[in-house]
Amino acid sequence: MTKQHRWIIAGAMATLGFAGLVASGSSVAAADVVTIGFTESETGALNVDSIGQFNGFRLWRDQVNAAGGITAGGKSYQVNLAFYDDQSKPDRVQQLYSRLILQDNADFLFSPYSSGLTATAAIISEQYGKIMITTGASEDKTYQLGNKYLYEMYTPASAYLTGALDALKTVHPKARVALAYADDAFAKAVATAARTYVQSIGMELVFDEAYAPSTTDFGPLINKMISAKADALIGGGHYADGATLARQVYDHKAPLDFISLLVAPDSPKFATLGESAVNVTAPSQWAPQATFKPDFGPDPKTFGDAYRKAYGIEPSYHAAGGYAAGLILQHAIEQAGTIDPDKVAARLDQTDVETFYGHVRFFTDSSRHGLQAGHSMVIVQWQKKGDQLVKEVVWPRAGATAPLAYPLH
Amino acid sequence: MSPKKPFFWLLVAVIAVFLLPVVTRDVGLRESLLLAAIYIILATNLNLMIGFTGYVNFGNIVFFGLGGYIGLYLVTAAGFPVALAATVAGLGVGAIALVFGLGILRLRGAYFALATIGIAEAVNAFVSNFGPWGGATGLYLSFEAYRPLGGPREALWTVYLLLVAVMGLSLFLGYAVKTSRFGLGLFAIREDEAAAAVLGVNTPLYKAAAYSLSGVLPAVAGALFFFKQGVIQPDQAFDLTLSTEAIVMLMLGGQGTVTGAALGAFLYEQFRGILLTSPVFSSFQLVIAGALLLVTVLFLPGGLMGWLYHRWPRLRRVLE
C-alpha cells in the first residue's frame, strides 16, 4: 500500500468519525405539511413483513396527497413520510425515533414492525408526547405498560386463534383440540391465550406441545395427536413450519376435521401444497376478499385494486394494516380539526369506525390504553372450486365470502 | 494511574467528549454517543480475551444479554433501583462467567471459539424457556419503573451518565490489566501458552479470571441498556451479529491496545450511524460496512493503532 493510499484511508476514517458527531439531517417542516416518522426493516429478518406495511403507508400518503391532503381546521396538510432502516434490530430504534422527532420534526409516528421494536420506540414517543399508531405489533404486553399515546391497529396476539375456535364451535361445540405451535415469541404468545380460550368455551385440550421452528419431521407429533384422538388442530408459527405441518398431516391421513394454523395458510404460496391445503384455515388480520362496508376511506376492493396497480402484487394484511394506520390517523386529525397531539389523541380515544380493514376502536382504560378493541381477525380457508384452490373468508360472518367447509375431507 | 500518565489525560478527554450532550442537552448527540459508549464497553472488555489473552470469544454477547435479563428482572420483580440492579447483574454474570470459563477454557483455538458460540446459544435457549423471565416474549418494563428517576425523559439522561461511567471504568480496567502483572501473564499466554505454564503462570486460573472479568462491565452495560430500551427479548439480548460486530470493532481499532479497541468501536458506531441515516448510502450500508472490514483486514491487519504505531513509533509510549 502506498503512502497516498494510507492517507486516503486514514482521512476517510477521521472524516466519518467527525461527521458522525456533527451530522444533522435535513428537516421537512414547512407550513401545511404533516410529517409522520417511522423506522422500517429495510434489512434483516423482518424485512418481508415490514415492506408490506411500508407499501401500505406509501399508498395511503400518495392517495391522500393526490386528493389534496388531510383537511383540519380549514387547512389542508400534505403528508410527508420520514423514515430510516432499523435493520430489524432494536439497537438504534430509540436513536432513530429521537432523530425523527427532533431533527425531522415528525408530528406523528408509525411503529416499527414487531412488538419488541415497538415497545422500545414507545419509550421515546411517550417522552415527547407523540402519537404512535402501531401496526405489526400485536403482543398484548406492549399496551399494558402505562402508555398514553400508543394506538394498536392489529387484533392483539391473545385473540389470534379465538376466531378460529369460535368458528369451530359453530360446527363442533365439544371438539377435542390439539395445540401444536412453534417455539418462538409470537406463536407462544398466541398459544398461551388459545390454551385458556379452548377450555373457556367448553372444548377439551387433548394435546399441547411446542416444536422447534426448524422442525421438518412432524411424524412423531402427528402420531401423538392421533393417539390423543384430537378432532381439531390449531397452532403453527411461520410459513416453513406451518406448510410442512399441513402437508405431513395430510400424508399421515390424520383423522382431523379442522385445521387452523398461523401465518402459513394466509400466504398465496400455500396453494402450491395442493390437496394438503384443502379446507385448511388461518387467522388473518385482513383478507382482500373481505366485504366490510366502510364508514371512512376506500372499500376493500378499491384498496386492493389500487394496491395491485401500485405494486403489482396482492396486498397482504401487513399492507392493509399500514394503509389503515394512516387512515385512522387521518380520521382522528380531521375529526379533531387540528394536528395538536393531545386533541388528536382525545379523538383517537373516541374512534369507533368501520374501514375497509374492519372495525377499529381502542381500549381507553389506563391498564391497556390503546389496545385494539374493535377489530376482529378474519378466518380464511382454502376451498376447492372445481380444480382450483380459492382462498375464502369464512369468519366473522359479517365479512364472510363463503360458509366454513367442515369437516376437512 | 497518576496524572503524569498520558492515558489519564486521554481518559479525561474521552469522558469530557461524552459529557458534551449533557451540557448542550442535545438528545440526538446523546443517543449517538450512548450507542458508541455501549460499543466501546463491549470492545474494550472483549479485548481482555482476544487482544490480551489470544482467545477469540465469538459469544461475548452472552454477558451483555444475561446482564440485561438479571438487571431488568431485579427492577421489575424485586423493585431494585436500576444502579443497584446493574451492579448485582455485573457481579452475578462475572461469577457465572468464572464457572463457564473454568469449563471451556481448557479448549484452545477454533474449539474454544465454537464453545463460546455454544454457550451463547445454550443460554439463549434456556432464557427462551424460562418462565420468570417471560420466556420467548421477554420482559417488558412498565413506565412506572422510570418514575423514581423523574420519568422516562430524565431516566434516559441518568442511564446515559451511568453508561459513560461504565465506559470510563472499562477503559481504566483495560489499562490497569495491561500494565499489571496479571496482564503480563495474559500476554505470555497469548504468545505461547505452554511456555507461560512452564514459566509459572497459572494459565487455567488466569484465563478464567480474564474471561470472568471481561463479562462484568458488559453485563452492567446490558442491564442499563435494556432498562433504557424498556423491553428485553432473547433474540435481541443474545444477538450473535452484535457479538461479531464487537470483534470487527476490535480489528478496526487494533486488538491488544486499549485505545485501539475504543477508537474502533467509536468509529464503527459513527460510520454505521451515518450510513443508516444517509439518503444516498442507506440502501447499501451493509455492503459498505463489509467493504470497510475487507480494507481493514487487507491493508491494516494491526488496525488503526497498528498503523499509527508503525507510522509514529513514539506513540506506543503515549497511547496504550
What pLDDT is attached to residue B253? 87
Rounded Cα gap, residues B140 and A120, in angstroms: 9
Say what the pLDDT of residue B2 is. Answer: 63
Q: Is the dihedral of CA A325, A328, A334, A336 positive or negative?
A: negative
Helix axes B151-178 and B181-191, enclosed angle (nearest 10): 70
Q: In this structure, are A221 and A86 located in the same domain?
A: no
Residue A185 is nearest to which of B137, B239, B271, comparing CB atoms?
B137
What is the ipTM metric for this complex? 0.74
Cis status of the peptide bond prior to A407, with omega within 30 of 0: yes
Whats the size of chain A, residue-wise? 409
For residues A252 and A383, membership in a common domain is answered with yes
Question: For residue B167, what is the domain's CATH number?
Answer: 1.10.3470
Predicted confidence at residue A25, as pLDDT, reads 37
The per-residue pLDDT for A321 is 95
DSSP letters spanning A222-280:
HHHHHHTT-SEEEEE-SHHHHHHHHHHHHHTT---SEEEEESGGGSGGGGGGGGGGTT-
CATH number at residue A394: 3.40.50.2300
Q: How many distinct structural domains can be found in chain A? A: 2
Residue of A nearest to B278 (CA): A25
* Overall domain count for chain B: 1
Residues A150 and A298 grouped into a single domain:
yes
C-alpha–C-alpha distance, residues B173 and B305, integer Å: 19
Boundaries of domain holding B306: 6-318
Do B270 and A119 count as a contact with CB atoms less than 8 A apart? Answer: no
| Residue to test with chain A: of B18, B31, B33, B274, most A Cβ within 10 A | B31
**A93: which chain B residues are within 8 Å (Cβ-Cβ)?**
229
Whether residue A181 lies inside any domain: the answer is yes
Same domain? A316 vs A349 = yes
Asked if A145's CB is within 8 angstroms of B153's CB, the reply is: no
Examine residue A73 and state whether it is found in any structural domain, yes or no: yes
Q: For position B3, what pLDDT does the model report?
A: 64
Please check whether residue A322 lies inside any domain of the structure.
yes
Range of the domain at A72: 33-155+290-368
The C-alpha angle with vertex B3 and arms to B1 and B7, in degrees rounded to 5, equals 65
B203 part of a folded domain: yes
Q: Which of A56, A109, A63 is nearest to A82 (CA)?
A: A109
Mean pLDDT by 10 residues, chain A (409 residues): 46 42 38 90 80 94 95 93 89 89 93 89 90 91 89 92 93 96 84 92 94 89 96 91 94 95 87 94 90 91 95 90 97 95 95 94 93 92 92 86 91
**Residue B288's pLDDT is what?**
82
Bridge-based pairing state of the strands A204-211 and A281-284: unpaired
The verdict on residue A406 lying in a domain is: no
Are A385 and A364 part of one and the same domain? no
Task: Say how many residues make up chain B.
Answer: 320
In a domain, B124, yes or no: yes
- The single-letter DSSP state of residue A292 is -
Say if residue A163 is in the same domain as residue A262. yes
> For position A239, what pLDDT does the model report?
84
> A264 and A201, same structural domain?
yes
Please report whether residue A360 resides in a domain: yes
Whether residues A191 and A264 fall in one domain: yes
User: What is the reported pLDDT for A404?
Assistant: 95
Q: Per the domain annotation, does A143 fall within a domain?
A: yes
Whether B1 maps to a domain, the answer reads no
Same-domain pairing of A69 and A42: yes
Rounded Cα–Cα distance for residues A365 and A267 (Å): 35
Q: Which residues of B touch A99 (CB under 8 A)?
A: 28, 31, 277
Give the integer Cα–Cα distance in Å for A180 and A196: 14
Q: Are residues A245 and A382 in the same domain?
A: yes
- Tens digits of residue pLDDT in A367-389: 999 999 999 889 999 999 988 99
The one-letter code for the residue type at A84 is: Y
Give the pLDDT score at A125: 92
For residue A198, being part of any structural domain is answered with yes
Residue stretches of chain B with pLDDT short of 50: none
CB contact under 8 A, A94 and B228: yes
Q: Nearest residue of A to residue B295 by CA position?
A: A9
